[in-house]
Each structure stands twice: as C-alpha cells, then as structure tokens.
Amino acid sequence: MILELYMKNCALVEELRLSIDENLNILTGETGSGKSIIIDALGLCLGEKYDRSFLRKGTEKGLVEAIFQCQNVNLKQVLNENDIELEDDNLLVITRVIYSDGKSVARVNGRTVKMSVLKDISKTLIDVHGQHQTQALFNKETHLEFLDLFGENELEEFKVDYKDIYRKYSEVKRALNTLTENKDDMQIQREIDLLKFQINEIEAANLSKNEYEELLKQRDVYRNSEKIYSNLNLTYQHLYEGSVNAVDLIGNAVSELSSISQYDKALSDYNNDIERIMYELQDISRDIRNYKDSIDFEPYELEQIETRVDEINNLRRKYGEDIDEIFEYYNKTKARLDEILNRDEKVEELKSEIIKLEKVLLEKANNLTNERLKVASKLEAVLLDELKSLNMKNVVFKVNFKDSSFTANGKDDIEFMISFNLGEDIKPIYKVASGGEMSRFMLAFKTILADIDQIDTLVFDEIDTGISGIAAQIVGEKLSNIGKKKQIICITHLPQIAANADTHYCIEKSTSNDRTFTTIKKLNHDQKRDEIARLIAGSNITEKTMEHASEIIELAKRSL
C-alpha cells in the first residue's frame, strides 16, 4: 500500500507531504480546490505522460514522490527482471522529477528507470479508476482478462494445458513459414539461383584465413618499393660501404682501445664490447645488403595484389566484414540451400505435424472454453448480485462467447453484454452505459475481485458521477467493505460516501501574497462532521445541517 505522497512545486502545491492510512481514505474539497492534483501526482508516479503545465508557475523544477510498502509477488518479479531491490521493510520509493522544459526523470529506489519500466512496476502497486480509466471496460479486448482474473483458480490448469500445446503449435508454424516464407515456386527458384550464385562466388574466391591482412601488408610494401630501396641503400652506405661508415669508425675505436687494454681490466672489457658491436654491425650490414639486392618489384605483382584485395573487398561488402564472417555466411547459405532443396519433404512433415497439433489444440481449447463458460455463469450471478446491491435492480448481464482463431489465450472471443433498464435489449456494454452506471459497474467488479487481485491500493476518482441518494449511500458502504481488504483512496463530492471514511482528508485552496496555494489536512471527528455538513449544504450551514451530518456519519457506522 502507499504510505506517503510528497509533492513540491506541483500546480497549486508549493510543498505537501501526505501520510495515507489503511482502509478507506476519503478526499473532499470545494470545486477547484485542487483535488485533481492528487490524482495527477499519483499518475506521474505511475509513469503517465508529464504535461509541463503541472509544474508550479515560476519554478524550474518540481518533484513527486510516493513511498509504498508491499510484498506483492508480481511486483517482486518485475523488480528482479530490472535488477531493483526493495528497501528494508519492503519499502519502494518512486520519484518523478519534472522540469520546466517538459522533460522528466523517474527513479525507483534511487535508480533511474525508463517510463516503460515504471509503468510495469506501477501496474502491480496501484489501480486508478476515474472517468478515463473506466473506459477499459468499453474495450472488449479487456473482457477476457477480467473473466480469467475472476476464474483464476478454476482456469489455471486448463490454461497451462492449452498454452503448452499452443507453444509447440506456434513453433511448428514458424518453422513452416520460415521454410516456405509464403513464396510460390517461381520465387523459390529465384532464391535457389541466388543462393547457388553466392555459394559459387565464395568458393571460386578460394579464400584462406588471414590472407586479407597479409595482402594489405604486401601491398603497402610494393606501393613504397622505391623509398624502401633508396633508404636501404643509404643505410648500407652509412653502416659499411661509404667513405665514412660506422664499421670503419668503430674499428678505429677498437684499435685505439686494444693498444691500452692491458693496463686495466675495465679497458679490456670496453674493447671486447665494442669489438662485439663491430662484428654485429658487419652482420647486420650484410643482411641489409642481401635484402636490398633481393628486391625485385615488378609492376604486375602490385596489380595482382590490388586485384586480389578488390576481389576480397567485393565479398566483404556482400557477405561479411572479415573472412571469418564470409565463411559463416557461406555455411548458412549452404544450409539454407539444402533446406530448400529438401523443402517439399520437410513441408509435408511440418504440415502433417500441424494437423495433429491442431486436433490436440482444439481439444484443449474446447476444455478451456467449457471451463470459462462455467466461470462466466458464476461471474454473471455474482456480478448481478453486486449490481443489485448498488441499486441497479433491473440489470441483465451476460458474457457473450464467439469462436475465434487460435491465440495464446484460447479461441474465445468474449464480450460483456448488458441491459441496465427493464425492457431494453441486451447490448455491448459500450453502447448502453452512462457515466454513473459505469462507475457502479466498475465498483461491482472491484468488490468481486478484491480477494483475487494482488494490487493493494485502489484509487477512485469521480466514482460518484451520476449517482445520489440511496445509490450513493450503497456505494459508500461498498467502498468501506473493499477498504477492509484493500487500501482505498477516493475523491468524492457526496456526503453519503464521505461519511464512510476511515480517514478523511480535506483539500483547501488559499491565497497569500498574490499566489494561490493548495493544502491538505487530515480531519478529526468534529472537522469531519463540519466537512460533511459543507457537502450537504454548501456555505449555508445551519444547526439542522450539522445534525444531519452527524446522523449520516452515525448511519454509516451502523451499516458497517
């Protein structure tokens, strides 16, 4: 559940820290006081898009931070996948920093994350329901998810059995598509011709490992042949053959030292070392002369090297950066050619296997469908009871099943059908539901799923749209009942709902120094009564209004 929400420089909020209790938390306030700021702040923590108008006027940077305490298995799985650890006491801190240039940064337990990761994490933590969120029920693609969530225990075994076969079925279909690639015979023949050309081209090149690197070295030598010969000749002159050369000069030094070496062992050692160097220089000079004399750079040899380098470069452009990659491409191409040449036999094998798997898959899908029909019947009964308890006594609700092609979830095309009024035809839910009806419909769903869904915190914004009187009182009782199992945060305008609060917060707007500020405070019993009175009568609060407010609060207590 969410323990604390902190906001700084957000809309009309300069700085605010809100500690949120367990059970049913009610937020009320006058129109325009800033109740939507709370929902928008939570939305940012859940990974929703940041609108720079949410940043407080005149500031460059704002911050929203939510602290959660949770032991949700699904959450831990998402965190493990993204190498994020829970803090001590299973705490999770989500921070969203917002900037005036429209950019924002999200962090989870101090680690910067992408919005997609933040959304995956938030889906396991909190469920927000407002006028926009209830639109999910208008999308029939979500109806199967709702049904499977409701019947999770009954359906799990059948879904696993089906998915095991569907996985094999999908693998075989992918193998068949890879083999044929949906090509006709002419396209296949073109591919065969291309593969043969590529294989022959690589084979004709007769490549060898490290050949390219050696060719580049040889080419470099041949391109600089004149300079190499000239420099070697000068080097030989300086070392040995010139009128003044190193060997002769060192020989002179040896003669001078030799005549005095008998006087001191150190002089003798110098003489020996220099004499050794002289002999080594003579050997090196001889090697340089032989290398120079062996040089015979023929222009046609450079042309041959250039031609070979161009040939290999042509293959590198087509098949790989280096010779190893060219060989790898060659092996894959040969394997693909063998596969195509033997494809007819393989295609028949795969098609035969698909037919066998489809029979098993159909059986598993039918088993899953039959079990879903049982779950749907149970859902219809339970949901109708909930809707009737929400003062929707003439509702007719059905889960409509149609066959579809095989998917990862079976072959069921499911849609919720409903009639809210006596005598009306049953229709898809998006065609007949009003805002108030959808709010109560969603509330009925959440009441049913409270024991199943692992999400700890539910947020209801404008759950009271389109309802009043007895319906509002019943909605308040339902919220309170869900609040015994989940943490509920509810923004409302109705006293009948607010009276059920376990914790009541009031959102207020004030002005100071030509600036507007939004603040939130937790109400005690008397303050709660005063706020209920304001919801009943606005600014015209009388003694009877106060009595009525006390009565509503007392009735809410009794109903629990």
Nearest partner of 534 among 497, 504, 493, 500, judged by Cα: 493
| Spatial contact of 541 and 534, defined as CB atoms under 8 Å apart | yes
131 band by pLDDT with thresholds 50, 70 and 90: very low
Q: What pLDDT score does 560 carry?
A: 61
Burial class (CB in 10 A: 0-12, 13-18, 19+), 473: buried
Q: How far is CA 408 from the centre of its chain?
A: 21
pLDDT confidence band for 558 (50 / 70 / 90) = confident
The CA-to-CA distance between both ends of the chain, in Å, stands at: 23
Residue 166: pLDDT above 90?
Answer: yes
**pLDDT at residue 443 tops 50:** yes
Amino acid at the residue 484: K
pLDDT (mean) for 183-187:
74
- pLDDT range class, residue 135, cuts 50, 70, 90: low
Q: Please state the rounded mean pLDDT for residues 519-541.
A: 89
Largest CA distance in the chain: 134
Q: Beta-carbon neighbour count of residue 200 at 10 Å?
A: 10
Q: Tell me, what amino acid is at 321? A: E
Torsion from C-alpha of 422, 425, 428, 431, nearest 10 degrees: -80
In sequence order, the β-bridge partners of residue 112 are: 107
Kindly tell me if the per-residue pLDDT of 280 is higher than 60.
yes
- How does residue 433 score in pLDDT terms, banded at 50, 70 and 90? low
Q: How far apart are CA 324 and CA 476, in angstroms?
A: 72
Confidence of residue 434 (pLDDT cuts 50, 70, 90): low
Distance between CA atoms of residues 60 and 62, nearest Å: 7
Confidence check: pLDDT of 133 > 90:
no
pLDDT at 182: 63
Percent of the chain with pLDDT over 70: 95
Between residues 142 and 365, the one the model is more confident about: 365
Q: Which of 75, 335, 22 is nearest to 195 (CA)?
A: 335
* Distance separating alpha carbons of residues 2 and 67, to the nearest angstrom: 6
Sheet holding 396-407, edge to edge: 396-407, 410-419, 427-428
CA dihedral 238, 242, 248, 253 (to 10 degrees): -60
Sign of CA dihedral 536, 478, 133, 423: negative
What is residue 220's predicted lDDT score, i.e. its pLDDT?
Answer: 83
Mean pLDDT for the stretch of residues 265-278 = 90
Q: Is the pLDDT of residue 418 over 80?
A: yes
Residue 246's H or E segment, with its range, is helix 246-258
pLDDT score of 69 more than 80: yes
Mean pLDDT of the chain: 86
pLDDT band of residue 516 (cuts 50, 70, 90) is: confident
Instruction: Indicate whether 119 pLDDT > 80.
Output: yes
The Cα 467–Cα 353 span in angstroms is 58
**328 Cβ neighbours under 8 A, 6+ residues apart:** 320
Hey, which residues does 13 pair with through a beta bridge?
10
Are the CB atoms for 524 and 494 separated by under 8 Å? no
Residues in a beta bridge with 418 = 397, 427
Least confident of 29-43, 312-326, 429-443, 472-486: 429-443
> What is the band of 366 on the pLDDT scale with cuts at 50, 70, 90?
very high
What pLDDT, on a 0 to 100 scale, did the predictor assign at position 170? 92
Asked if 432 and 418 touch (Cβ cutoff 8 Å), the reply is yes
Condensed to tens digits (0 to 9), the pLDDT of residues 326-338 reads 999 999 999 888 8
Query: Taking residues 436-443, what's their average pLDDT?
Result: 74
In order of 161, 220, 323, 324, 325, the CA distances from 308 in angstroms are 60, 14, 13, 17, 18
Instruction: Give me the mean pLDDT over the 309-320 stretch.
Output: 90
Tell me the range of 227-236, 264-273, 365-374 where mean pLDDT is highest.
365-374
